[in-house]
Structure 1
Amino acid sequence: MVALNQDELRSRVEDDFDRVVELLSDKVALKSVSAQGITGAHMRRSADFVADELRKVGVQAKVVQSSNPDGTPGAFEVIGSKTVDDHAPTVLLYAHHDVQPVPDASAWDTDPFVATEVDGRLYGRGSADDGGGIAIHSGALHALGGDLKVNVKVFIEGEEEMGSPSFIPFIEAHREEFASDVIIVADSGNWSAQIPSLTTSLRGNTDVDVNVKVLDHPVHSGQFGGPILDANTVAAMLIASMYADDGSLRIPGLLGGDPVGGLQRDLDEAGVRGDAGTVGSYRLAGNGSLASRLWTKPSISVIGFDAHPVEGSFNVISPETTFRLSIRTAPQQRPEEAQRAVTDFLTAHAPFGAEVKVSAIDAGMGWSMDPDAPATKGALAAMQEAFGVAPVNKGEGGSIPFIPELQRIFPQAQVLVTGPEDPKANAHSPNESISLSALKNNIITEALILEKLAH
């Protein structure tokens, strides 16, 4: 079996690139905001558009409406396939066609739904997340054309930005149409526009509500203040008890580890500070590499707190309060285990004997790639060939719950997480954009990956 010459692939991608950019521009203009209704006509138009574009590159694509777990109509999904040889490996290509809302168009420098090229980047909502993923799949399949040597299945989801409520029922109902040897999820990104990356891990996520009670009813702060601490203060003490002096978590049973696949390059502290917008005097919490703190160690954030507003406050001691914790878990830890560890710790460390009750809200598993899998090694080699520099693997501190679910449903499949984004992409934010030079190299990368998987 003769492999395609990389120069020939690059030439094909160059010749086709105007079509790819036009595809991406047309996709931006569709305003496929799932938050405005996943069953809306605008989402059907978006799905139909994507299916049409896939047919242009040889995929037998169709639009199927999913069903939510409660039986109500769900998102418009695009599924398809291209079979070249019943004995060849099968690769599932994933992306999503829905996009984030634009709450304030005035925060953009360009019209968010008119694709606009500025200094080598194409701006527009969904240009990177995840129109870029659709463009990569389309460009790679076009470049390979009749030389494609693996069977391809495609799933372009219509509700990823809404948390994928019907994702699992849909996958379960279409197991045969998605069963594959390798799954390529094009919904992440690279170290930079010039340096490619495989996403090596994703943290899990679980939320818990913590109720702290000190009194049966409010009392006057002048009459009882001193021996009686208000519930908000006790809750603050309880929250503080979870942390060591350096800001790292000290909860037994919460797991952490080093970056999956090794750490080629740590994150830049100045860059992290700038991206987060920290005040100048703030010291970053925790210990170890910044990469491990953001990718593979657990974190806990207070994301909600029931307390009386400052305006209209008066002199009473609050009898009880509730706060919500968002717990990001190490990629390999079951979220239920993390919930139990946090629950046990908080109930055992109730300040001054206050009543503490913890209620689990939800749980999503993390994910880590297999660094020794043949598909992983082939993808890294393809990235170096396409970009001309060694890839720098990176984890993600956030969660993409459907990836571990895909791995659960198809345990034999090797999963590769790639994508069109880079640190300047501003996915989910104003002025979202995609680097056109990186898009070109990402297309070449995916074509090379598909080539390598055939051998």
Structure 2
Amino acid sequence: MSTPEPAPVPPAATGDAEEVETLRARLEPLLPAAIEDLQDLVRIPSIAFEGYDPAPVRRSAEAVAQLLRGAGMAEVDIESVDGGSPAVIARTPAAPGRPTVLLYAHHDVQPTGDVEDWTGDPFVPEVRDGRLYGRGAADDKAGVMAHVTALRLVGEELAADGIGVTVFVEGEEEAGSPTFRPFIEAHRDRLAADLIIVADSANWAVGTPALTTSLRGLADLVIEVRTLDHAVHSGLFGGPVLDALTQLSRLLATLHDENGEVAVEGLVRAPDPSVEMDEADYRRDAGVVDGLELSGTGSLTSRLWTRPALSVIGIDAPSVRDASNTLVPVSRAKISLRIPPGEDPAVAMEALVSHLEQRAPSTAQVTVHRGEQGRPYSARRDSPAMDLARTAFARAWGTPAVDTGLGGSIPFIADLLEVFPQAEVLVTGVEDPESRAHGIDESLHLGEFAKVCLAEALLLRGAGTLGGRSA
């Protein structure tokens, strides 16, 4: 991506140039073990989705807990609530009047998709051309290891300075964090902090860090279209009845206009961003097929960050290989709507449901099953913690950080802000545009990972300037 105008770097207590280089030199010998530990985590297929074996998720939590004990955390426990997946809470409490920093990451991963599409086994990590490949290598086991490595680097200094650190490593983020809110409410006292660092986002490009200042929210649903009680011969009965898959396709086609813009009435648009990205970079990073036009209008960043985006992410229908010469009686589609800052996910959900129900044909029975909702996020850009982070990132990378939006969603951030209203939240990341998080051949740029670890160590050392308010 082309680099936009960066945010100004304010002065902050994250060390002068000589101190930064000293810390960088101390980090260097820690990196081989960090990469080896990350590879061990990647080998654990910790998929927390329903229908998958929960044992690897438990094994992953135990591995994370052991790493945090080894990093010197005073208290380390594995917890869960309401039958949810195991999460790790590790704490070194703050001295009286000193601040506490909460470090968040998640140890569960996305399903792999078709394993045959991967260059190698998704759970056999492999380093190629400076990148570590494997499911979870970037999202978000690298976030876990960034926290562990930063603590290995400066944990003793933080303890001596009285700065408290809590590490919260969730085990079901990719599955929608179904027990996140009851979990943080149940462990409110142990998780209370002055500053929360969420390491689950992305940087602007290799060589250019970013602080995520906005995230889209989401609303998803499943729509079911039925036309027959059972499948019947397409030759004998086709004509008076349109099959369910055809009728579903016609209904889905109403969701966008001829330009590819979302055609659902009543959805909010946020103001367009002031930065833009290079179209060629976007095409490369997204894997757009050569020669195709892009959908929608306006700047790329507005289409990615501040406007609604709607995708059909799954369809239940016979496969081409298994198709018989019959009319399909019922078909389903899962629809994912991403919503910009300023939108209420409940309002967006009702707008989408209304659109589908109003356009349901009289020749089919249409049923909508509402799914997950998540709120968007917009950060304060002028907070002391944001200034501290900008300085740390600039010194770790040698170039200023970019304030960037992100088209993805982290709905639990709104829960953190509601349960811990005294805390500031920073959204940082270990990914880059080539990481392919959630996709085939997910990978982590190892050079960027080292800078992430250094930046977090600098940020933690500077946290003492924020003061203590969570006691």
Which residue number in structure 2 is paired with residue 413 of structure 1? 423
Alignment of 1:196 with 2:209, yes or no, is: yes
Q: 2: CA distance between counterparts of 1:391 and 1:114?
A: 33
Change (3 A) 1:350 1:128: closer
Change (3 A) 1:6 1:253: same
Q: Structure 1 length normalisation: TM-score? A: 0.84
Alignment of 1:153 with 2:166, yes or no, is: yes
Which residue number in structure 1 is paired with residue 8 of structure 2? none
Q: What is the CA distance between 1:178 and its match in structure 2?
A: 0.7
Q: What is the CA distance between 1:107 and its match in structure 2?
A: 4.5
Which residue, out of 61, 66, 89, partners 2:80? Answer: 66
| Of 10-19 and 109-118, the range deviating more from structure 2 | 109-118
Q: 1: CA distance between counterparts of 2:364 and 2:123?
A: 53
Alignment of 1:441 with 2:455, yes or no, is: no
Change (3 A) 1:153 1:348: same
| Of 31-40 and 424-433, the range deviating more from structure 2 | 31-40
CA deviations over 1:215-234 (Å, ceiling 9, x no partner): 999999999969x9777666
Q: What is the CA distance between 1:66 and its match in structure 2?
A: 0.8
| Of 326-335 and 348-357, the range deviating more from structure 2 | 348-357
Change (3 A) 1:454 1:338: same
Which residue, out of 146, 166, 183, partners 1:170? Answer: 183
Q: 2: CA distance between counterparts of 1:298 and 1:93?
A: 30
Q: 1: CA distance between counterparts of 2:358 and 2:443?
A: 48
Q: What is the CA distance between 1:309 and its match in structure 2?
A: 7.4
Alignment of 1:337 with 2:347, yes or no, is: yes
2:210 partner SS: coil
2:298 partner SS: coil
Q: What is the CA distance between 1:99 and its match in structure 2?
A: 3.1
Q: 2: CA distance between counterparts of 1:45 and 1:320?
A: 40
CA deviations over 1:332-352 (Å, ceiling 9, x no partner): 311110122223344445678
Which residue number in structure 1 is paired with residue 393 of structure 2? 383
CA deviations over 1:299-354 (Å, ceiling 9, x no partner): 2223455778774346x7x8987654322112331111012222334444567898
Change (3 A) 1:308 1:164: closer
Alignment of 1:245 with 2:255, yes or no, is: no
What is the identity percentage for the equivalent residue pairs of Structure 1 and Structure 2? 43
Q: 2: CA distance between counterparts of 1:121 and 1:414?
A: 32
| Of 56-65 and 284-293, the range deviating more from structure 2 | 56-65
Q: 2: CA distance between counterparts of 1:2 and 1:327?
A: 41
Q: What is the CA distance between 1:176 and its match in structure 2?
A: 0.6
Q: 2: CA distance between counterparts of 1:119 and 1:359?
A: 45
Q: 1: CA distance between counterparts of 2:62 and 2:234?
A: 64
Aligned amino acid, residue 26 of structure 2: R
Q: 2: CA distance between counterparts of 1:157 and 1:306?
A: 31
Which residue number in structure 2 is paired with residue 43 of structure 1? 57
Given that residues 225 and 247 in structure 2 are in contact (C-alpha distance below 8 angstroms), is that contact kept between their aligned partners in structure 1? yes
Which residue, out of 312, 325, 340, partners 2:324? Answer: 312
Change (3 A) 1:236 1:125: closer
CA deviations over 1:83-128 (Å, ceiling 9, x no partner): 3422122111011223344466554445544443333223333322
Q: 1: CA distance between counterparts of 2:408 and 2:336?
A: 11
Which residue, out of 394, 397, 403, partners 1:393? Answer: 403
Alignment of 1:22 with 2:31, yes or no, is: no
Q: 2: CA distance between counterparts of 1:10 and 1:421?
A: 20
Change (3 A) 1:270 1:222: farther
- Consecutive unaligned residues in structure 1, runs of 5 or more: none
Change (3 A) 1:236 1:375: same
Given that residues 153 and 178 in structure 1 are in contact (C-alpha distance below 8 angstroms), is that contact kept between their aligned partners in structure 2? yes
RMSD over aligned CA atoms reads 3.5
- Consecutive unaligned residues in structure 2, runs of 5 or more: 1-11, 466-471
CA deviations over 1:24-59 (Å, ceiling 9, x no partner): 23323444444585641x434332332222223321
Q: 1: CA distance between counterparts of 2:112 and 2:351?
A: 38
Q: What is the CA distance between 1:421 and its match in structure 2?
A: 1.2
| Of 6-15 and 216-225, the range deviating more from structure 2 | 216-225
Given that residues 80 and 87 in structure 2 are in contact (C-alpha distance below 8 angstroms), is that contact kept between their aligned partners in structure 1? yes
Change (3 A) 1:306 1:313: farther
Matches within 5 A, 1:99-118: 99-102=109-112, 107-110=117-120, 112-118=122-128
Q: What is the CA distance between 1:368 and its match in structure 2?
A: 2.2
Q: 1: CA distance between counterparts of 2:311 and 2:373?
A: 15
Q: What is the CA distance between 1:296 and its match in structure 2?
A: 2.0
Q: 1: CA distance between counterparts of 2:317 and 2:62?
A: 48
Q: 2: CA distance between counterparts of 1:124 and 1:99?
A: 10
Which residue number in structure 2 is paired with residue 183 of structure 1? 196
Q: Structure 2 length normalisation: TM-score? A: 0.81
Change (3 A) 1:10 1:288: same
Which residue number in structure 1 is paired with residue 140 of structure 2? 130
Change (3 A) 1:117 1:201: same
1:418 partner SS: strand
Change (3 A) 1:312 1:419: same
Given that residues 33 and 43 in structure 1 are in contact (C-alpha distance below 8 angstroms), is that contact kept between their aligned partners in structure 2? yes
Change (3 A) 1:105 1:37: closer
Which residue number in structure 1 is paired with residue 5 of structure 2? none
2:454 partner SS: helix
Which residue number in structure 2 is paired with residue 361 of structure 1? 371
Given that residues 38 and 76 in structure 1 are in contact (C-alpha distance below 8 angstroms), is that contact kept between their aligned partners in structure 2? no
Q: What is the CA distance between 1:361 and its match in structure 2?
A: 3.0
